[in-house]
Structure 1
Amino acid sequence: MTPSPGSPGGSPGAAHDVVVGPLDLAARVDEALAIQAEAFGLSQDEMNVRHHIVLRHLATPGASALGATVRSTGRLVGFVYGMPNDRTQWWSSVVEPYLRATGNEDWLDDSFTITELHVLPECQGRGIGRRLITGLTDQAGQARSILSAIDTESPARALYRRLGYRDLARRVLFPAAPRPYAVMGAPLPLLRP
Structure 2
Amino acid sequence: MLRIPGHGPRRSDDIVIGPLDLAARVDEALAVQAVAFGLSADEVAVRRQIVQRHMTYPGARALGATTARGELVGFVYGMPNDRTHWWSTVVEPYLRVRGHEDWLDDSFVITELHVHPHHQNRGVGRALITTLTDAAAEPRSILSAIDTDSPARALYRSLGYADLARQVLFPSAPKPYAVMGAHLPLRRKGGTAAGERAGDA
Please give the TM-score of this superposition, normalised by the length of structure 1: 0.92
Query: Whose relative contact order is higher, 1 or 2, with alpha carbons under 8 Å and at least 6 apart?
Result: 1
Aligned residue in 2 for 1:190? 186
* Structure 2 counterpart of 1:33, from 30, 33, 49: 30
Residue matched to 1:121: 117
> How far does the alpha carbon of each residue in 1:126-165 deviate from its partner, in whole angstroms, 9 at most, with x for none?
1000000000001111010000000000111011001000
The match for 2:66 is 69
Residue of structure 2 in register with 1:161 after alignment: 157
Partner of 1:48: 45
1:40 CA displacement = 0.3
Aligned-pair identity in percent equals: 73
Distance 2:65 2:75 in 1: 6
AA partner of residue 74 (structure 1): G
Provide the residue aligned with 1:140 in structure 2.
Answer: 136
Report the CA distance between 1:49 and its aligned residue. Answer: 0.6
Shift of 1:8: 5.7
Q: Deviations over 1:157-188 (max 9, x none)?
A: 01100100000000000000000000000000
Counterpart residue identity of residue 158, structure 2: R
Is there any run of 5+ residues in structure 1 with no aligned partner, and where? 1-6
Q: CA deviation at 1:9?
A: 4.1
**Structure 1 residue 93 corresponds to structure 2 residue 89:** yes
Aligned letter for 2:45? Answer: N
User: 2:9 and 2:45 mapped to 1: Cα distance?
Assistant: 33
- SS at 2:84 equivalent: coil
Letter in 2 for 1:164: G
TM-score (norm 2): 0.88
Q: Residue type matched to 1:54 in 2? A: V
Deviation readout 1:73-112 (Å, 9 max, x if unpaired): 0100000000000000000000000000111000000000
**1:78 matches 2:74:** yes
Which residue does 2:16 correspond to in 1? Answer: 19
Tell me the distance in 1 between the aligned counterparts of 2:8 and 2:140.
38
SS at match of 1:77: strand
RMSD over equivalenced CA pairs, Å: 1.5
Q: Give the drift of 1:10.
A: 10
Q: How many residues align?
A: 183
* Whole-Å separation in 2 of the counterparts to 1:62 and 1:8: 35
Quote the Cα distance in structure 2 between the aligned partners of 1:82 and 1:176: 22
